[in-house]
Amino acid sequence: QLLAAPAMADGKAIVPEAAGVLAGAAGVAWALARSARGKAEPAGGVAEAKPDAPLVSPIGAASVQDAVDWASTHGLVMRALDGFSVVHSPFAGTPRKIPAEAFGLAYELGPLFAVLADAVRRDEEWLLSTLERTADVDPFTGRLVQLARLLRERDGAQRQTTVLGILRSDYMIDSRTAAPAQGPTAPPSSVRAPAGRLLQVELNTVAAGFAGHSARVSEMHAALCAPAAARRSGQTPPTSSAALPAGYSTAPASAAVAAVPGPCFPAVRKAASDATAPTSSGAASSPGSASGAEAGGLAGAVATTASAVASFGLPPNHSLGGMAASIAAAYAEYGRQRGRDASPPAAAGTPAAPVVLFVVQPGERNFADQRHISDALERLHGIRVIRRTLAELAETIVMASSAAEADAAPAAGTTKQPAFGSPLASRRLFIRGAAAQGRASAHDGAASASLASADGSSAGPWTEAVATTDPALARSAEEVAVVYLRSGYGPGDYGGEDATLEGSAEWRARTSLERSAAIMCPNVWLQLVGAKKVQQVLAQPGVVERFMGATRDTELLRSCFAGLWSLDPEELKDPEALADARAATDRARADPSGFVLKPQREGGGHNFFGADIVRALETWSADKLRGFILMERINPDIQTAVMVKAGRFAVAHTVCEFGIYTGVLGTGAARSFTGEGISEASEGIVVNATFGHLVRTKAVGMDEGGVAAGFAVLDSPHLVA
């Protein structure tokens, strides 16, 4: 009953005929979608549960314990509240049924949103104008805008124009009313899609988490659920090695991703069978060939994995391998730039090679998800990772033209910053004392405390946390090639709402990172693209077309926009738009259940629902309201799910949200756009690869959906017709 999807013909992935599908992960996702469309799913596809239906667990307690043990032994864990021990991350006991066509469409949208996001971050004048009034009333958005203006005005053309975006576009499938079928192979508009519309919740442009854990959950469900389904059907289950995502092959996973030709469009409009991906030796090979798989390329790994899991409806998930490969591509681009401007850096894997910097939060509980990525970078690409908080970086980073100059710089925290407008080559980023990093790290939740034995006696040499550092190591500087932000997306990361660029050590550190020659993931401009205000403005008529032209691509993007309304009457110059926004607020006052009030925040737990929306609309000042947007609430189908947390499980009526990861490496400088089309928007993009997914399930009635925030559990998709 759980995994009843029939086998695909000959056990092979069907070549996607639809235009607009990325070769590799997206291609196989769409192939699985086309396969599922041609087969009848028992009980009409996605089974919808009624909230008052009896709850029956589809798996037993023994199976839950097997899953908990698997999670604990495979790193699907998070740090416990005590700061030392670990517990398994919350997860669903069985995969989530998701319509294959909607899932394939979400994969197709990935590279389109990547092109749009890269174009918007480059159109700095438009972005600043769009956020101007929001920045006046939202302090955190105001600080980001202030930083962006500072960099633009003071460093001018001497800025790092290459930016890595690791985006995650989150969706729900609205099931309230039937809607026209979507996608490149959609039937005539008169035909209705019973599963409803695919609607975007938001586009995450900074710290899009759970790529590591999402891959783990997919592995767990393939390992524990598919064999059971195979026993019932008499088929051969996927082997553990075949079910591993690309990031766990024995060869570098960056071959296919790092060498994706740019711009990706219109080349991406080819069918997956026509696309080629260079192997590690530089020779082109078919995505499904043995050489592509052996090279660890995403396309080859997807094709080889697909045949093992497709017959059970479990699509392969390359979120971890794709994340590492995207960062490795930015690392390679930094080396290319260094070789052009001066001497190339030491090769990856050598002692003098640059490092990748993970900027993390103090007391990070979701450490394992991040460690999976750093482990993949070191193990598969030979790239070393250093983790630091913004506060730590304020005392240890130096901008200089060479390591020798960085070593000779004054004491950390007192280094004079290079002058604004100075050559970018003189602002290479170095971390002082990286080699002296202790084994107890505050950002991983460790605390300075005595370790005692069970009977309370002294723990000997572990009684106190004492750090002794060789002075030479403390001064030794290491060059940073890529800065990957896993913090910095909320005011709490900088000392609070009132912290200023000049007065906050964390803001000073962020400013130095942005001014340096290191490639940011993301930079402040791309982070601003993820603001809810930008999402709302992009949904207005003609705005997406400004960047990408009036094409089928823009129609496809618009097809997934939910209702979004501004709460700032001053910016609604068009009478029709003003009337529409007022009608939406009137409906929200009358029935707030159909809406969400969203601020400019990331991380979960910040939205307003129900009576709180009415209270806000009726009592808040106009200035406060304009820092928010009003969004149509999406109502996905309800399914029964087993939710496992802290070793215990509960059966609940649930809904789900799923996100699609895309890596985009853009090298284009700032410019304005005139709507010439996709070729103009994709100028300078050298990597654009959609590589994995995240599924989160939450109980009905739970408004928020963040796993790290404690509202949801990690899940994986089971594609159905």
Q: What Å distances lie between residue 441 and 392, 434, 471, CA to CA?
A: 11, 12, 19
Distance between CA atoms of residues 56 and 640, nearest Å? 8
Residues 301 and 369 grouped into a single domain: no
Flag whether 501 is in a domain.
yes
Distance between CA atoms of residues 218 and 240, nearest Å? 12
For 590: left if phi > 0, alpha if psi spans -120 to 50, otherwise beta; the answer is alpha
Residues 159 and 271 grouped into a single domain: yes
Write out 361-403 in H/E/C secondary structure: CCCCCCHHHHHHHHHHHHHHHCCCEEEECHHHHHHHEEEECCH
Residues 370 and 448 grouped into a single domain: yes
The last residue of one of the domains, among 607, 633, 659, is: 633
Residue 692's beta-bridge partner residues? Answer: 661
Residue 215 scores a pLDDT above 70: yes
Residues 387 and 496 grouped into a single domain: yes
Residue range 33-84, pLDDT digits in tens: 333 333 333 323 344 455 555 566 667 777 889 999 999 999 999 999 888 8
Q: What Å distances lie between residue 700 and 640, 656, 713, CA to CA?
A: 10, 9, 13
For 284, the 3-state DSSP assignment is: strand
Count of domains forming the chain: 3
pLDDT of 412 = 53
Residue 116 scores a pLDDT above 50: yes
Residues 395 and 505 grouped into a single domain: yes
Residues 629 and 641 grouped into a single domain: no
Residues 679 and 628 grouped into a single domain: no
Distance between CA atoms of residues 333 and 482, nearest Å? 10
pLDDT of 264 = 25
Distance between CA atoms of residues 638 and 51, nearest Å? 8
Contacts of 566 (CB under 8 A, 6+ apart): 536, 537, 572, 581, 626, 629
Of the pLDDT bands very low, low, confident and very high (cuts 50, 70, 90), residue 259 is very low
Residue 279 scores a pLDDT above 90: no
**How many CA atoms, within 13 angstroms, populate the side-chain half-sphere of residue 194?**
12
Flag whether 94 is in a domain.
yes
Residues 582 and 708 grouped into a single domain: no
Residues 511 and 617 grouped into a single domain: no
Looking up tokens 């195979």, which residue turns up? 230
pLDDT of 451 = 40
Residues 119 and 254 grouped into a single domain: yes
Residues 278 and 381 grouped into a single domain: no
pLDDT of 53 = 55
pLDDT of 706 = 59
The last residue of one of the domains, among 507, 529, 551, is: 529
Of the pLDDT bands very low, low, confident and very high (cuts 50, 70, 90), residue 235 is low
* pLDDT, average across residues 101-107: 93
Q: What Å distances lie between residue 665 and 242, 468, 522, 534, CA to CA?
A: 29, 40, 10, 21
Query: Average pLDDT over the chain, rounded to whole?
Result: 75
Residue 250 scores a pLDDT above 70: no
Return the CATH number at 447.
3.40.50.1760
For 564, the 3-state DSSP assignment is: strand
Flag whether 711 is in a domain.
yes
pLDDT of 342 = 58
Q: What is the DSSP string of 459-487?
A: -GGGSS------HHHHH-EEEEEEEEESS
The last residue of one of the domains, among 608, 633, 658, is: 633
Return the CATH number at 614.
3.30.1490.50
12 φ/ψ angles, rounded to the nearest 5 degrees: -115, 150
How large a percentage of the chain has pLDDT more than 90?
50
Residues 446 and 493 grouped into a single domain: yes
- Residue 52 exposed, middle or buried by CB count within 10 Å (0-12, 13-18, 19+): exposed
Strand 91-92, strand 96-99: pairing:
unpaired
The count of other CB atoms within 10 Å of the CB of residue 416 is: 8
More confident position, 614 or 313? 614
Distance between CA atoms of residues 473 and 435, nearest Å? 6
Q: Which range of residues forms the domain containing residue 585?
A: 566-633
Q: Where are the alpha helices (DSSP H) in 191-345?
A: 211-224, 226-233, 254-258, 290-294, 298-309, 319-341
For 666, the 3-state DSSP assignment is: strand
Residue 113 scores a pLDDT above 50: yes
More confident position, 36 or 649? 649
Residues, the chain, total? 721
Residue range 426-479, pLDDT digits in tens: 999 999 876 555 434 455 544 434 344 444 444 444 444 444 445 555 557 999
Find out whether 371 and 445 touch, Cβ atoms under 8 Å: no
pLDDT of 132 = 94
Distance between CA atoms of residues 556 and 2, nearest Å? 32
Q: Which of 170-179, 275-284, 371-380, 612-621 has the highest mean pLDDT?
A: 371-380
Of the pLDDT bands very low, low, confident and very high (cuts 50, 70, 90), residue 223 is confident
- Residue 291 exposed, middle or buried by CB count within 10 Å (0-12, 13-18, 19+): middle
Flag whether 545 is in a domain.
no
Flag whether 537 is in a domain.
no
Sheet holding 564-566, edge to edge: 564-566, 629-632, 595-598
Flag whether 549 is in a domain.
no
More confident position, 167 or 453? 167
Go through 563-595 and write b for each residue having 16 or more CB atoms within 10 A of its CB, e for each that does not: bbbbbbeebbeeeeeeeebeebbeebeeebebb
Residue range 313-323, pLDDT digits in tens: 788 899 999 99
Flag whether 627 is in a domain.
yes
Flag whether 682 is in a domain.
yes
Could you give the angle at which helices 367-381 and 319-341 cross, rounded to 10 degrees?
60
pTM of the predicted model as reported, rounded to 2 decimal places: 0.79
Residue 399's beta-bridge partner residues? Answer: 429
Could you give the angle at which helices 139-150 and 505-515 cross, rounded to 10 degrees?
40
